[in-house]
Structure 1
Amino acid sequence: MPVTKKAVQYLLGIFMASLLPLSTSVATPLTAERQATLEHLLIQDCGSCHGLRMTGGLGPALTPQILADKSRESLIATVMYGRPGTAMPPWDALLNEQDATWMIDRLLQGVTP
């Protein structure tokens, strides 16, 4: 059976996600200023596609209920590396893995503007 480009991208994403716990477990805590910047980014930039209340728009809803069945690592990888073939861009040029982890943890708690 031939291996498709999509399958290779998926497996690469899973592999990259498996490395995330190694790098985020030893990181220093984010400053209050950085958290405020990330909160703004989450509501304004992510909210421009996912809705200001994260209930959906161009992108899917990102509510705790919707995200509950998804692994934290795969969500972090999606933020970092995007979703090829969709409107979800990679954010690795602006965020590091610790930032992405903080944002995913915030989404899992629920975000309100």
Structure 2
Amino acid sequence: MTVSRHAVSRLGLALASLLLIPAALAAAPDAERQAQLEHLLVQDCGSCHGLRMTGGLGPAITRDALAGKPRDSLIATVTHGRPGTAMPGWNALLDEQDIVWLVDLLLEGYPKP
């Protein structure tokens, strides 16, 4: 039986999402940290996903583009990256509450019009 790289990647994301704490238990970062994270989103994420998150080297990560994608999978992607792509894992630089906050910000719609 041959297993595709895509199937292995999806399995890895699913397993990784099981290790994350539920969002309800994660405290939101304070206002100063939120400002730092928003700056990171624009500067670092925006360098691949576009300054308006509409895509570039990486895919669009606008509210519309993320609609229907499981939140836990998005959190796992930011946490662990996507092997074989330019998407790095951010868990070496960000803690879980930071990552959850960023994913929720994108799901709510960032940047605001």
- What does residue 10 of structure 1 align with? 10
Match of 2:32 in 1: 33
Paired-residue identity, % = 60
Matches for 1:6-85 after TM superposition, within 5 Å: 6-20=6-20, 22-85=21-84
Aligned residues: 112
Q: Is the 8 A contact 1:81 1:92 kept in 2?
A: yes
**For structure 2, which runs of at least 5 residues remain unmatched after alignment?**
none
Q: 1:70 and 1:3 mapped to 2: Cα distance?
A: 23
RMSD after superposition? 1.8
* Matching residue of 1:101: 100
Deviation at 1:12, TM superposition (A): 2.2
CA contact (8 A) 2:82 2:88 kept: yes
Q: Secondary structure at the match of 2:59?
A: coil
CA contact (8 A) 1:17 1:76 kept: yes
Q: Tell me if the contact between 2:54 and 2:60 (Cα under 8 Å) persists in the aligned partners.
A: yes
Q: Deviations over 1:9-40 (max 9, x none)?
A: 431220111232x3543233311111111000
Using the TM superposition, give the Cα deviation of residue 6 of structure 1 relative to its aligned residue in structure 2, in angstroms: 4.9
Check the 8 A contact 1:24/1:97 in 2, yes or no: no
Structure 1 unaligned blocks of 5 or more: none
TM-score normalised by L of structure 2 = 0.88
Q: TM-score, normalised by structure 1?
A: 0.88
